[in-house]
């Protein structure tokens, strides 16, 4: 079969790969909070080093200018003994920085020793270390520090630092133990143990690198605690009051009633220094937290920039849409992480504009050319690309594919529920109400989205136990959904509606005031379905709702879902990796791979004659319960890495039938044309190139004649 081919666009030289550690360091340095905190902290460290040499006076030297306000001779003014306050602040900077960092090092070292060791080791040794940290946790740290520091004969800076470090490690050890308990069960740790690596080598080289950010955050927190503790000790007079630090300055200002005498300059410089150092350390800590938890980067409404200078606001619950949301937006055509991806996506967009499908009369939801990225610019990962789907009224549309194929990203993208750094890079999501004109979900304001969600489109999330709040009763959670969209309804009405919803999904009324942990897995999933139907939406998106349920419960829930759909008339977008479920319960199936739809057809048609090799591989990966036995064949290889997608068809590295065009160009989704010289009946019997009117495929083995999909 001759298929015309084209040469690939020339690609620019690829930069050398960046190691994950260096990428994290660069991301940390680029964080504005961390960068600001590091600059301020660096300034304090510099002053601690050179402060004694640049101080204009001896901080303890008495003078004749008593209690003078700031002047050219004394920048921060003088004390009641004529001592220069600026020189005292400089001298105190070294004391505070040394105590903070020494105490932080000592405390962090003990936290690592006790926390990581007790988390990794099992048996009496680990439990004893855990009990030791628990004992220290219940002892108030600051009173213990005051008692120990007062009892010691010498209370210089080093002694204070050691006392603080030796009494403040327990909380950090507790955190590290919890993290280590999780890490020690990871596959790579088990593999290292199986290869015969020693315990300490596993801890140092397998576990510790994964705890680096947590350890750094704990170190900064300990430094903050040590600084405030040292200043507190000096302020209450514990230690040598002739040794200068910021707490000593405040101690003498308070003892001489500086406020009463109007000598504001005596306490303001030290107070501002404390506040500025605390702010710097907190900013660094915030930067580390955002590095460890990417979700925190967008919680406050972070603003990022695309490559073309457009500002994008990242908000949890409201996935941003780049540009205008249309395929022909000029700003959108300029994006791409490499020359190859730019060429590929530009060709996709050109084909999409030329073959935009007509509006179907029975459509309730239309997805046109949807693109979803994680990140912006060079760091963007293209998770969903050029997806066209139509969900019709009253049907179940199944979406199948391996993990990582983009199924859940598509669902959350079309409802704009992707967490940062997810962004909708382009396309349209048209919702067709029963009355009125279609509306583009991607153009809705946050207020419109709040009204649209659950009232028109609801989602049943993966993992019912994680979706239900464990500390609230089922009735409370059902009533909260109703109250959010109908705040004027009475509590009695909301409770009656919650009772109706439970009855609708086959749960007895006496379970209304149960907590989620008191329900079985199947009952929790039914509660989630009832919650999704609370406002009678027209579209229900189900993201792998039967995960972790046994086969019998899966079938019960799906049969009940089918009955509810027939009774209430809503449409379902059913997402799962289990193609056998979709064949049985879906009207139509779309198969997704590498962020694209590679085939869609009626369920029975797809089961009888899958055209795409990937769909055929999925169908042959589970046994047939009826008919002759067949050999089960898996799909070799692994799904593609979205950060480095192969050229052409994403499936060609795993495809047993790949040939020259597959590695060069991305195939277009469309209706395949019949082979020349074959009649329709023969094509049905022997070939896979002809399908029913709604059978579409994106594969070079089947040239298309209609790209309306």
Residue 310 shares a structural domain with residue 225: no
Residues 312 and 286 reside in one and the same domain:
no
Averaged pLDDT for residues 636-649: 86
Residue 330 has pLDDT above 70, yes or no: no
Confirm whether 101 is domain-assigned: yes
CA proximity to 544, closest of 462, 618, 468:
462
Token representation of residue 436: 């009125």
Of the candidates 292, 312, 347, which is a domain's last residue? 292
Lowest average pLDDT, out of 225-234, 333-342, 455-464, goes to: 333-342
Q: How confident is the model at residue 499 (pLDDT cuts 50, 70, 90)?
A: very high
Is residue 73 in a domain?
Answer: no
Average pLDDT for 597-607: 92
Q: Is residue 364 part of a domain?
A: yes
Question: What's the pLDDT at 349?
Answer: 40
Q: In terms of C-beta density within 10 A (0-12 exposed, 13-18 middle, 19 or more buried), how is residue 19 classed?
A: exposed
More confident residue, 2 or 517: 517
- Please give the pLDDT value at position 597: 93
Residue 71, in any domain of the structure = no
pLDDT at 535 over 70: yes
Confidence tier at 498 by pLDDT (50, 70, 90): very high
Within this chain, do residues 168 and 124 fall inside the same structural domain, yes or no? yes
In a domain, 8, yes or no: no
* pLDDT at residue 518, as a whole number: 85
Q: Please indicate, yes or no, whether residues 152 and 257 belong to a single structural domain of this protein.
A: yes
Average confidence (pLDDT) over 174-194:
76
* Predicted pLDDT of residue 482: 86
Last residue of a domain, one of 404, 433, 462: 433
Specify the higher pLDDT residue, 519 or 399: 399
User: What's the alpha-carbon Rg for the chain, to the nearest Å?
Assistant: 33
Top mean-pLDDT range of 28-42, 325-339, 528-542: 528-542
Instruction: Say whether both 151 and 282 belong to one domain.
Output: yes
Q: Tokens 């669902």 — which residue?
A: 411
- In a 3-state reduction of DSSP, which class is residue 384? strand
Per-chain mean pLDDT for the chain:
78
- Asked whether residue 335 carries a pLDDT value surpassing 50, the answer given is no
Contact (Cβ atoms closer than 8 angstroms) between residue 182 and residue 176:
no
pLDDT in tens, 57-81: 888 888 777 888 888 888 888 888 8
Residue range 5-18: average pLDDT?
Answer: 41
In this structure, of 30-34, 318-322, 568-572, the range with the lowest mean pLDDT score is 318-322
Residue 128: pLDDT over 70? yes
- What percentage of the chain has pLDDT greater than the value 90? 15
pLDDT at 589: 94
CATH code of residue 250: 1.10.3720.10
Same domain, 128 and 160: yes
- Judged by average pLDDT, the poorest of 5-9, 292-296, 645-649 is 5-9
Decide which of 63 and 83 is more confident: 83
* One domain for residues 127 and 182: yes
Cβ-based burial of 587 (10 A; exposed 0-12, middle 13-18, buried ≥19): middle
CA torsion sign for 678, 681, 682, 684 is positive
In the structure, what pLDDT confidence band is assigned to residue 358 with cuts at 50, 70 and 90? very low
State the number of CA atoms in the 13 A half-sphere of 31 facing the CB. 24
| Confidence at residue 158, expressed as pLDDT on a 0 to 100 scale | 80
Task: Return the DSSP state at 472.
Answer: S
Clarify whether residues 385 and 262 are in a common domain.
no
* Residue 475 structure tokens: 């009735």
Of 107, 136, 149, 138, give the one whose Cα is nearest residue 236. 149
What's the rounded Cα separation, in Å, for the pair 93 and 681? Answer: 89
CA distances from 30 to 27, 37, 217, 308, 580 (A): 5, 12, 17, 19, 47
Do 369 and 249 belong together in one domain?
no
- What is the three-class DSSP state of 315? strand
Question: Based on the domain organization, do 283 and 314 belong to the same domain?
Answer: no
- Residue 315 shares a structural domain with residue 264: no
pLDDT at 384: 92
How far is residue 320's CA from residue 424's CA, in Å, rounded to a whole number?
6
How many Å apart are CA 331 and CA 307, to the nearest integer?
9
What is residue 360's predicted lDDT score, i.e. its pLDDT?
52
Q: What is the pLDDT of residue 161?
A: 84
Q: How far is CA 186 from CA 125, 205, 449, in A?
A: 22, 14, 39
Say if residue 271 is exposed, middle or buried (CB neighbours under 10 Å; 0-12, 13-18, 19+): middle
**Residues linked to residue 590 through DSSP beta bridges, in sequence order:** 399, 600
Buried-exposed string 647-669: b where 16+ CB fall within 10 A, e elsewhere: bbbbbbebbeebeebbbebbbbb
Reduced to 3 states (helix: H, G, I; strand: E, B; else coil), residue 529 is: helix
CA distance 565 to 90: 74
* H or E element in which residue 363 lies: strand 363-374
∠ CA 405-409-536, nearest 5°, is 125
572: exposed, middle or buried (C-beta count within 10 Å: 0-12, 13-18, 19+)?
A: buried
The full DSSP string for 653-704 is TT-TT--GGGGTSPPPPBEEPPPTT--HHHHHHH-SS---TT-EE--TTS-E
Q: How far is CA 474 from the centre of its chain?
A: 27
Three-state SS annotation for 479-527: HHHHHHHCCCCCHHHHHHHHHHHHHHCCCCHHHCCCCHHHCCHHHHHHH
Q: Is 599 exposed, middle or buried (0-12, 13-18, 19+ CB in 10 A)?
A: buried
Q: What are phi and psi of 598, to 5 degrees?
A: -105, -20
End-to-end CA distance of the chain: 24
Q: Would residue 581 count as lying in a domain?
A: no
Burial 109-140 (b: 16+ CB within 10 A, else e): ebbbebbbbbbbbeeeebeebbeebeebeeee
Domain that holds residue 149: 32-52+85-292
Final residue before a domain boundary, out of 292, 311, 330: 292
Question: Which residues, in sequence order, are bridge partners of residue 396?
Answer: 572
Whether residues 283 and 313 fall in one domain:
no
* Residue range 141-152, pLDDT digits in tens: 778 777 777 776
Domain-located, residue 458: no
Range with the poorest average pLDDT among 260-274, 481-495, 663-677 = 663-677
Count of the separate structural domains present in the chain: 3
d(CA 560, CA 607): 23
pLDDT at 239: 65
Q: Is 529 part of any domain?
A: no
């Amino acid at each position: 079969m001759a298929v015309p081919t084209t040469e690939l666009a020339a690609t620019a030289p690829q930069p050398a790969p960046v190691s994950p550690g260096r990428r994290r360091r660069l991301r940390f340095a680029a964080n504005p909070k961390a960068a600001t905190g590091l600059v301020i902290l660096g300034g304090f460290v510099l002053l601690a080093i050179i402060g004694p040499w640049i101080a204009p006076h001896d901080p303890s030297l008495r003078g004749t200018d008593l209690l003078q306000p700031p002047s050219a001779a004394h920048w921060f003014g003088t004390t009641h003994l004529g001592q220069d306050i600026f020189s005292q602040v400089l001298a105190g900077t070294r004391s505070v920085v040394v105590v903070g960092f020494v105490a932080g090092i000592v405390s962090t070292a003990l936290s690592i020793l006790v926390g990581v060791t007790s988390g990794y080791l099992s048996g009496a040794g680990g439990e004893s270390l855990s009990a030791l940290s628990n004992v220290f946790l219940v002892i108030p740290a600051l009173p213990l520090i005051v008692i120990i520091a007062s009892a010691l004969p010498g209370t210089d800076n080093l002694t204070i630092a050691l006392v603080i470090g030796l009494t403040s490690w327990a909380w950090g050890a507790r955190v590290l133990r919890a993290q280590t308990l999780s890490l020690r069960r990871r596959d790579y740790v088990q593999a290292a143990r199986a290869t015969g690596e020693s315990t300490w080598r596993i801890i140092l080289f397998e576990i510790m690198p994964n705890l680096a950010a947590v350890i750094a955050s704990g170190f900064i927190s300990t430094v903050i605690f040590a600084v405030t503790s040292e200043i507190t000790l000096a302020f209450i007079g514990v230690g040598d009051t002739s040794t200068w630090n910021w707490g000593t300055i405040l101690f003498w200002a308070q003892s001489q009633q500086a406020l009463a005498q109007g000598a504001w300059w005596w306490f303001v410089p030290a107070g501002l220094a404390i506040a500025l150092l605390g702010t710097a350390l907190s900013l660094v800590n915030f930067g580390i937290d955002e590095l460890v938890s990417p979700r925190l980067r967008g919680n406050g409404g972070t603003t990022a920039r695309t490559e073309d200078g457009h500002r994008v606001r990242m908000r949890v619950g409201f996935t941003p849409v780049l540009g205008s949301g249309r395929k022909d937006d000029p700003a959108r055509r300029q994006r791409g992480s490499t020359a190859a991806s730019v060429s590929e996506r530009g060709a996709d967009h050109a084909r999409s504009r030329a073959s935009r499908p007509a509006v179907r009369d029975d459509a309730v939801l239309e997805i046109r050319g949807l693109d979803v990225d994680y990140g912006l610019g060079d760091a963007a990962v293209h998770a969903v690309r050029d997806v066209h789907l139509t969900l019709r009224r009253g049907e179940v549309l199944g979406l199948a594919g391996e993990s990582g194929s983009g199924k859940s990203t598509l669902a959350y993208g079309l409802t704009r529920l992707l967490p940062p750094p997810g962004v909708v890079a382009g396309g349209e999501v048209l919702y067709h109400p029963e009355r009125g004109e279609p509306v583009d979900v991607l153009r809705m304001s946050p207020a419109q989205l709040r009204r649209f969600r659950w009232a028109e489109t609801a989602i049943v999330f993966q993992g019912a136990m994680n979706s239900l709040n464990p500390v609230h009763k089922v009735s409370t959670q059902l009533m909260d959904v109703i109250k959010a969209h109908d705040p004027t309804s009475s509590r009695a009405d909301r409770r009656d509606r919650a009772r109706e919803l439970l009855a609708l999904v086959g749960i007895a009324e006496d379970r209304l005031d149960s907590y989620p942990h008191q329900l079985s897995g199947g009952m929790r999933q039914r509660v989630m379905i009832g919650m999704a139907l609370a406002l009678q939406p027209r579209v229900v998106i189900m993201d792998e709702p039967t995960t972790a349920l046994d086969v019998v419960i899966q079938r019960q829930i799906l049969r009940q879902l089918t009955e509810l759909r027939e009774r209430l008339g809503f449409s379902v977008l059913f997402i799962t990796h289990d193609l056998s479920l979709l064949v049985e319960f879906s009207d139509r199936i779309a198969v997704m791979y590498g962020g694209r739809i590679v085939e869609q057809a009626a369920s029975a048609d797809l089961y009888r004659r899958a055209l795409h090799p990937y769909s055929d591989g999925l169908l042959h990966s589970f046994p047939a319960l009826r008919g002759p036995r067949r050999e089960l064949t898996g799909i070799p290889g692994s799904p593609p890495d979205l950060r480095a997608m192969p050229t052409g068809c994403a499936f060609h590295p795993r495809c047993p039938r790949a040939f020259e065009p597959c590695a060069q160009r991305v195939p277009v989704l469309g209706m395949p044309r019949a082979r020349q010289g074959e009649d329709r009946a023969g094509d049905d019997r022997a070939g896979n190139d002809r399908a029913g009117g709604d059978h579409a495929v994106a594969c070079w083995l089947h040239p298309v004649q209609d790209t309306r999909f």
